[in-house]
Structure 1
Amino acid sequence: MRTDELLNIVQTVLDERKGQYITTIDVRGKTSFTDYMVIATGTSDRHVRSLCEYVSEKVKECGFRPLGIEGDQGADWVLLDLGDVIVHVMTAQAREFYQLEKLWSVDRAKEVV
């Protein structure tokens, strides 16, 4: 599955399942472990878990196997690793605290030779 197709599935499922404030960050050139991070807010711990479960099920239906999921046991932040796309779903409080958009949106400092 191509990265843009995977990204589209993730964004669509999060939107359909009432994920809030869905943000996609292109991190190519900033890190080597993924191309995109998708960040969304869930309304409760249960909603956060459910959103990642829905995304995982949908990509499996499309023939793609997720690499892993972290934080799914009563957590306010669940990470779903899809390789080229990493999905972070958080409660509003966790998202405000960690501020991943701010962290990953900073441009890399230019090297001085």
Structure 2
Amino acid sequence: MQRETAPRAPEASTSVHSDADASQDDQGRITALEDLILAKLDDDKAQDVVFIDLKGKTAVADGLIVASGRSHRHVGAMADHLLRALKDEGYGRVRVEGLPHCDWVLIDTGDVIVHLFRPEVRSFYNIEKIWSVDSPHRTQAV
């Protein structure tokens, strides 16, 4: 799941930065973080990846990413690879919960929250419903 963005025109360098420039820089950083996470999950063969844009909906985070792994080991490996990639890219200290059991691993980067589940656990908690997002792993009743 990749997001395409139009290339930005080069900006003239100035020593004065406005609030709009800072907001645009923050938005670019958040988009780069989201893209990094989505690319890493794609590389690790995550299943049913859902990105939920929370900008303007809550102060908790700007984005929420939910994905499934096939087993405890797959969820743990995805979490480990993602944590390494975040550290290597300079996103620093992230908070992690659930690594010992790997049923549900939560990675909080501050701007983006990532939930990695085993499929049974994801179906049970169904956190996409909290944000009214249709999940690809749910089937509709006929």
Match of 1:21 among 48, 55, 60: 48
Q: 1:91: how far off? A: 0.5
TM-score calculated relative to the size of structure 1: 0.88
- Shift in Å, 1:94: 0.9
1:51 matched to 2:78: yes
| TM-fit CA distance, 1:101 | 1.1
Report the structure number with the largest CA radius of gyration: 2
- Which structure has more relative contact order (CA 8 Å, sep 6+)? It is 1
Q: Which runs of 4+ in 1 moved over 3 A?
A: none
Q: Alpha-carbon deviations, 1:23-56, whole Å to 9, x = none?
A: 0001123221201000000001111111111111
Q: Within 2, Cα distance between the matches of 1:66 and 1:34?
A: 16
CA contact (8 A) 1:52 1:89 kept: yes
Which residue of 84, 87, 96 maps to 2:123?
96
Q: Normalising by structure 2, report the TM-score.
A: 0.71
Structure with bigger strand share is: 1
State how many pairs are aligned: 106
**In structure 2, which of residues 109, 118, 123 is the aligned counterpart of residue 82 of structure 1?**
109
Identity %: 39
